[in-house]
């Protein structure tokens, strides 16, 4: 076989692959254009649907996304929750946070009051803790409800025995590390973003006053 | 120091705590198929580690520069051709096709390398070397790296991606070699006929998986130990 | 003398039990072990695999006359990767929670040896109708396999089936069943049972 016929052979053999690549590429582009927006909406909805239960009195549809930077320059999207009372009063903040749990990463949503001094709620978005033990951190009655009302001005502590005093939360029996990880994640996030949240609230109030 | 701790956590996480075979269930086909003798098993493990590393490097590069939502190259091309700078070009829908081609190329490269420098090893591998292309473990490593390149705030660098890949490959090698050692002994045991072959291998894998569950929480311990040592 | 090519009906029936992808051919182990912790993800994975398998079979069968021998694996892989991307995006759009739960295992359908082997063995050599029958048969077989393992793991592991409680409250859930060791043990034992049924049937046929 001569080299020229081999070379011509490559293209003549590969034409099908190239044609298929173009057709499939077009199909995928079409799928992405059609389904991309729906997927984005789904991702946003995950957080937005939790707004009413994390911040009391907030309306889901009025939630606004804001990007904040902490002291180290890390950027984070937080959510402003407003009440549906005509004046759009700021009801609170939703702060996404994450960190290492016992098994894998835990992602949570922290609800805070407008001044970022009181935790109003906690929701676990994503976790892979041990089923039957660690994964009870997603249970409202057993674990999450105790976060509401805790002060955000001092770090949360974890207690393994009753009674629970001060800014302590009760760890789940058999899931001490998972409970401790959640407390650490909350503490770290609040420590990093409490001041930026307060600054943003002051800036927003100024903007509103200037408009009036 | 923080980087080093993170790298150790990723590496040990991939190798032991979240072992690719025994925790994530990827790479089962060679795990069951090639684990009859320790030397072939170890050779397969090394080949897979080699392929995973190359595939991870290539897929990180392609994902970082082309395929993630905020990639620089498509944005540059878009703007040079007069596109609106406010529109983000997102090519991530082509990720899977890109990865499988990267993997096929990596396997091809490793095949040529082994054929040139280790001919007897190449002969003993036979058809299993090209079959590494369908090894879920490699695609899984690429997918994990892609997962960590999605959010602009916490991007993984090449070092973290490579640590994950090598850690995963090492974990695969450990699992497959352990299995080969056990199976060599099992060959001399009186296994019930229905369970012979795949059945007893899977049950053994289950017990191995139970043992590896004991590694959970080790990465937090490493963090604490290194923290204490540095004080 | 040309070998007898299986007909469409034969392909269909073979795929369900005699050549069951998981129990007989031992293909597609990775999703089988990973997503069978509960029935819902297992059935979603079976549906996604069916989607990819049938469409890939159809496409390869339609272009089988144009395939060059040494580029055919490339064409198969390209086709399968495209359909898997479409399936993955559709899941993320319409079944977002399930898509998050299945995670990286949907893209891993690309390297599911089952689909490539069906393309190689059947659809690159036979007509459209046979290819579809083969795809449907294998999909039913795969769904049966996933369903059987998921049933055992979910009922023993959490007392539920499809998320509905079927065992009384007092049942202590065998957590290990939902974890990786349970997957291996269940598949190993069920494989043993399948082998035993096959072997006793064969020995009865020999008598």
Q: Which of B110, B183, B95, B100 is nearest to B139 (CA)?
A: B100
CB-based contacts of B36: which residues, under 8 Å, 6+ apart?
B180, B183, B184, B187
A75 and A28 fall within a common domain = no
Tell if the CB–CB gap between A102 and B153 is shorter than 8 Å. no
Query: How is residue A78 annotated by DSSP?
Result: E
* Residue pLDDT, tens place only, A57-110: 777 777 778 787 777 777 778 888 887 777 777 888 888 888 877 777 788 888
- The pLDDT value recorded for residue C2 is 40
Tell if the CB–CB gap between B93 and A103 is shorter than 8 Å. no
A113 and A21 fall within a common domain = no
Q: Which of C124, C135, C126, C127 is nearest to C68 (CA)?
A: C124
- The pLDDT value recorded for residue A8 is 56
Most C CBs within 10 Å, among B14, B23, B26, B108, to test the C interface? B26
Question: Are the beta carbons of A195 and A153 closer than 8 angstroms?
Answer: no
- The pLDDT value recorded for residue B218 is 80
Rounded Cα distance, B225 and B230, in Å: 9
Q: Give the residues of chain C that fall short of pLDDT 70.
A: 1-4
- The pLDDT value recorded for residue B177 is 93
Q: Which residue has the higher pLDDT, B59 or A12?
A: B59
Distance from the Cα of residue A188 to its chain's centroid: 14
Between the alpha carbon of residue B64 and those of residues A33, A105, A208, B95, the distances in Å are 22, 22, 41, 11
A43 and A54 fall within a common domain = no
A13 and A61 fall within a common domain = no
Question: Are the beta carbons of C168 and B183 closer than 8 angstroms?
Answer: no
| DSSP secondary structure string for all residues of chain B | -HHHHHHHHHHHIIIIIT-TTTTT--SHHHHHHSTTSHHHHHHHHHHHHHHHHHHHHHHHHHIIIIISTT-HHHHHHHHHTT--TTSPP--GGGHHHHHHHHHHHHHHHHHHHHHHH-HHHHHHHGGGTGGGGG-HHHHHHHHHHHHTTS-GGG---HHHHHHHHHHHHHHHHHHHHHHHHHHHHHTTS---GGGTTHHHHHHHHHHHHHHHGGGTTHHHHHHHHHHHHH-
Q: Which of C186, C172, C190 is nearest to C35 (CA)?
A: C186
Between the alpha carbon of residue B129 and those of residues B57, B114, B134, the distances in Å are 20, 10, 10
Distance from the Cα of residue B40 to its chain's centroid: 19
| DSSP secondary structure string for all residues of chain C | -PPPPP-HHHHHHHHHTTT-TTTTS---HHHHHHSTTSHHHHHHHHHHHHHHHHHHHHHHHHTGGG--GGGHHHHHHHHHHHHHHHHHHHHHHH-HHHHHHHGGGTGGGGG-HHHHHHIIIIITTS-HHHHHHHHHHHHHHHHHHHHHHHHHHHHHHHSEETTEE-S-TT----GGGTSHHHHHHHHHHHHHHHHHHHHHHHHHHH-
Rounded Cα distance, B225 and B216, in Å: 16
A96 and A168 fall within a common domain = yes
A88 and A34 fall within a common domain = no
- ∠ at Cα A167 (A96, A126), nearest 5°? 25
Q: Which residue has the higher pLDDT, A185 or A11?
A: A185
* Residue pLDDT, tens place only, C112-166: 888 988 888 888 888 888 889 989 999 999 999 999 999 999 888 887 888 777 7
Q: Where are the domains of chain C?
A: 8-148
Tell if the CB–CB gap between B194 and C196 is shorter than 8 Å. yes
Cis peptide before B33 (omega within 30 of 0): no
The whole-chain average pLDDT of chain A stands at 80
A105 and A13 fall within a common domain = no
A80 and A185 fall within a common domain = yes
- The total of structural domains in chain A comes to 2
- The pLDDT value recorded for residue A172 is 80
Length of chain C: 207
Query: Which chain A residues have a beta carbon less than 8 Å from that of C89?
Result: 31-32, 35, 39
Query: Which chain C residues have a beta carbon less than 8 Å from that of A32?
Result: 89
Residue A1: pLDDT over 60: no
A162 and A78 fall within a common domain = yes
- The pLDDT value recorded for residue A83 is 79
Q: Which residue has the higher pLDDT, B218 or B42?
A: B42
A39 and A134 fall within a common domain = no
Whether the CA torsion C125, C128, C130, C133 is positive or negative: it is positive
Tell me the mean pLDDT in the region A180-196: 86
Tell if the CB–CB gap between A16 and C71 is shorter than 8 Å. yes
Query: How is residue A146 annotated by DSSP?
Result: G
Tell if the CB–CB gap between B205 and C184 is shorter than 8 Å. yes
Residue B139 pLDDT class (50, 70, 90 cuts): very high
Q: Which of B26, B29, B2 is nearest to B14 (CA)?
A: B26
Residues 90-129 in B contacting A (C-alpha not used; CB under 8 Å): 90, 93-94, 97
- The pLDDT value recorded for residue A10 is 67
Domain span holding position A149: 50-211
A39 and A55 fall within a common domain = no
Residue B182 pLDDT class (50, 70, 90 cuts): very high
Residue B206: pLDDT over 90: yes
Query: Which chain B residues have a beta carbon less than 8 Å from that of A130?
Result: 216
A89 close to C (CB below 8 A): no
CB-based contacts of A125: which residues, under 8 Å, 6+ apart?
A46, A47, A96, A107, A108, A109
Q: For C82, which of B29, B97, B213 is closest by C-beta distance? A: B97
């Amino acid at each position: 076989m001569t080299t020229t016929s081999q070379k011509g052979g490559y293209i003549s053999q590969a034409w099908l692959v190239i044609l298929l690549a173009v057709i499939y590429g077009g199909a995928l582009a079409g799928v992405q254009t059609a389904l991309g927006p729906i997927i984005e909406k789904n991702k946003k909805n995950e957080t937005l649907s939790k707004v009413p239960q994390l911040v009391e009195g907030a309306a889901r549809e009025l939630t606004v996304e804001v990007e904040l930077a902490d002291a180290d320059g890390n950027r984070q999207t937080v959510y402003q929750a407003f009440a549906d009372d005509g004046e759009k009063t700021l009801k609170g903040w939703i702060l996404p946070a994450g960190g290492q749990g016992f098994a894998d990463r835990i992602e949570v949503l922290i609800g805070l009051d407008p001044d970022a001094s009181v935790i109003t709620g906690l929701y676990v978005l994503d976790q892979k803790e041990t089923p039957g033990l660690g994964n009870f951190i997603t249970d409202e009655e057993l674990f999450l409800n105790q976060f509401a009302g805790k002060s955000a001005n001092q770090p949360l502590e974890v207690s393994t025995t009753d009674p629970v005093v001060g800014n302590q939360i009760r760890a789940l029996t058999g899931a001490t590390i998972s409970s401790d990880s959640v407390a650490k994640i909350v503490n770290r996030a609040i420590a990093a973003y409490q001041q930026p949240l307060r600054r943003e609230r002051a800036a927003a109030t100024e903007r509103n006053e200037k408009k009036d | 120091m923080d980087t080093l701790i993170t790298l150790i956590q990723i590496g040990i996480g991939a190798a032991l705590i979240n072992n690719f075979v025994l925790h994530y269930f990827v790479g089962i086909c060679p795990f069951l198929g090639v684990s009859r003798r320790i030397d072939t098993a170890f050779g397969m493990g090394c080949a897979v580690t080699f392929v995973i590393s190359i595939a991870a490097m290539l897929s990180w590069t392609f994902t970082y520069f082309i395929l993630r939502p905020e990639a620089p190259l498509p944005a540059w091309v878009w703007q040079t051709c007069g596109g609106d700078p406010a529109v983000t070009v997102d090519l991530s829908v082509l990720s899977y096709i890109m990865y499988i081609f990267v993997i096929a190329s990596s396997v091809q490269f490793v095949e040529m390398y082994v054929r040139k420098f280790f001919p007897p090893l190449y002969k003993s591998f036979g058809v299993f070397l090209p079959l590494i292309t369908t090894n879920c473990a490699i695609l899984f490593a690429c997918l994990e790296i892609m997962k960590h390149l999605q959010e602009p705030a916490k991007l993984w660098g090449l070092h973290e991606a490579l640590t994950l890949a090598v850690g995963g490959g090492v974990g695969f090698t450990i699992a497959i070699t352990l299995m080969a050692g056990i199976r060599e002994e099992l060959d001399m045991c009186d296994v019930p006929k229905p369970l012979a072959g795949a059945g007893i291998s899977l049950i053994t894998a289950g017990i191995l998986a139970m043992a590896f569950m004991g590694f959970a929480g080790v990465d937090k311990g490493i963090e604490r130990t290194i923290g204490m040592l540095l004080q | 003398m040309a070998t007898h090519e299986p007909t469409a009906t034969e392909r269909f029936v073979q795929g369900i039990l005699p050549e069951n992808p998981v129990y007989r051919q031992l293909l597609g182990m990775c999703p089988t072990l990973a997503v069978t912790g509960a029935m819902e993800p297992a059935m979603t994975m079976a549906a996604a695999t069916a989607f990819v398998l049938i469409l890939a079979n159809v496409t390869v069968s339609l272009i089988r006359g144009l395939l060059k021998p040494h580029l055919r694996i490339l064409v198969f892989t390209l086709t399968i990767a495209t359909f898997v991307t479409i399936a993955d995006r559709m899941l993320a759009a319409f079944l977002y929670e399930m898509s998050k739960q299945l995670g990286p295992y949907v893209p891993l359908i690309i390297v599911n040896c089952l689909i490539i082997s069906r393309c190689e063995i059947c659809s690159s050599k036979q007509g459209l109708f046979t290819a579809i029958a083969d795809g449907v048969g294998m999909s039913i077989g795969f769904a049966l396999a996933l369903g059987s393992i998921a049933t055992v793991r979910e009922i023993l592991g959490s007392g539920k089936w499809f998320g509905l409680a079927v065992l009384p409250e007092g049942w202590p859930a065998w957590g290990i069943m939902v974890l990786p060791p349970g997957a291996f043990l269940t598949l190993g034992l069920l494989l043993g049972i399948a082998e035993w049924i096959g072997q006793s049937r064969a020995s009865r046929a020999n008598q």
